[in-house]
């Protein structure tokens, strides 16, 4: 019997300690509901919802941010390009340089079909100075043979040489274009123009006729590209031909 009495006292002592601990805890943690019955006090502690930081519901304006991962940049915004993509200048990419070739540029972009203030491609003579070779952009002298080239990548340099000798003409029209805010548009070389014909469907808006290149043959003749049958030929600089500017980037 003595053992039973001792056990009963121990149990009551444990219960008293437990109740005191619960009451003490309730004074520290925020309680949502408290109950009291008779002379024996008990307190039920209800914990509030978890904070955003601890995994609960979140709302805007907190101190925590969420990282959003974006996909790769488009060609237009400076990403990788392929033929037919919209370029940074608002035109169409029609040539991708071999990545193994070291160069300051990687792509050729043709001006869009509405580049001429929404009108069709304009016609222009090649140069008002139609009887002599264009001057060298390096020396400023009139050479015995043309300083221009027909190769891919030579159109920009050709155009600079032409501008030094021609007050008006196809190169001047091309260089005056400011599509996309860029000032590096030029008249394409003979081989660049051939690439444009090859990708004419992707570029769009070409007229049924011949387009000027920046490749000069002789004092009175320069290269042109037919967009009817795809042939290239040299013709007199005084003849009006269509113009479509391009740029590198």
The answer to whether position 74 is within a domain reads: no
> In this predicted structure, what is the pLDDT of residue 144?
77
Buried b (16+ CB within 10 A) or exposed e, 165-197: bbeebbbbbbbebebbebebbbbbbbbbbbbbb
The answer to whether position 38 is within a domain reads: no
The answer to whether position 241 is within a domain reads: yes
> In this predicted structure, what is the pLDDT of residue 23?
39
Extract the residue ranges of the chain whose pLDDT is less than 70: 1-48, 58, 60-69, 137-138
The answer to whether position 22 is within a domain reads: no
The answer to whether position 9 is within a domain reads: no
> In this predicted structure, what is the pLDDT of residue 167?
94
181: left (phi over 0), alpha (psi -120 to 50) or beta: left
H or E, element range at 2:
helix 2-28
Q: Give the single-character DSSP code of 180.
A: G
The residues that bridge with 110 in the sheet, in sequence order, are: 92, 246
> In this predicted structure, what is the pLDDT of residue 216?
96
The answer to whether position 141 is within a domain reads: yes
The answer to whether position 129 is within a domain reads: yes
Cβ proximity of 86 and 78 under 8 Å:
no
The answer to whether position 18 is within a domain reads: no
> What total number of domains does the chain contain?
1
> In this predicted structure, what is the pLDDT of residue 60?
60
Domain that holds residue 125: 92-248
């Amino acid at each position: 019997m003595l053992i039973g009495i001792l056990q009963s006292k121990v149990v009551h002592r444990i219960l008293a300690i437990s109740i005191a601990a619960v009451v003490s805890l309730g004074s520290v943690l925020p309680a949502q509901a408290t109950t009291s019955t008779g002379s024996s006090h008990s307190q039920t502690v209800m914990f509030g919802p978890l904070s955003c930081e601890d995994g609960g519901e979140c709302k805007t304006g907190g101190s925590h941010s969420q990282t959003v991962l974006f996909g790769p940049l488009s060609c237009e915004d400076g990403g990788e390009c392929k033929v037919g993509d919209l370029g940074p200048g608002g035109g169409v990419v029609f040539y991708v340089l071999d990545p193994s070739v070291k160069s300051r540029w990687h792509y050729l972009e043709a001006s869009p079909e509405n580049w001429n203030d929404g009108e069709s491609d304009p016609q222009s003579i090649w140069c008002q100075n139609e009887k002599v070779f264009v001057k060298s952009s390096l020396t400023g002298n009139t050479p015995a043979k043309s300083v221009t080239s027909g190769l891919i990548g030579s159109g920009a340099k050709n155009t600079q040489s032409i501008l030094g000798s021609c007050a008006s003409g196809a190169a001047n029209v091309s260089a005056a274009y400011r599509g996309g805010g860029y000032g590096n548009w030029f008249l394409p070389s003979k081989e660049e123009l051939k690439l444009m014909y090859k990708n004419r469907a992707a570029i769009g808006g070409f007229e049924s006729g011949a387009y000027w290149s920046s490749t000069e043959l002789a004092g009175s003749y320069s290269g042109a590209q037919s967009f009817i049958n795809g042939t290239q030929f040299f013709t007199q600089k005084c003849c009006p031909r269509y113009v479509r500017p391009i740029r590198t980037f």
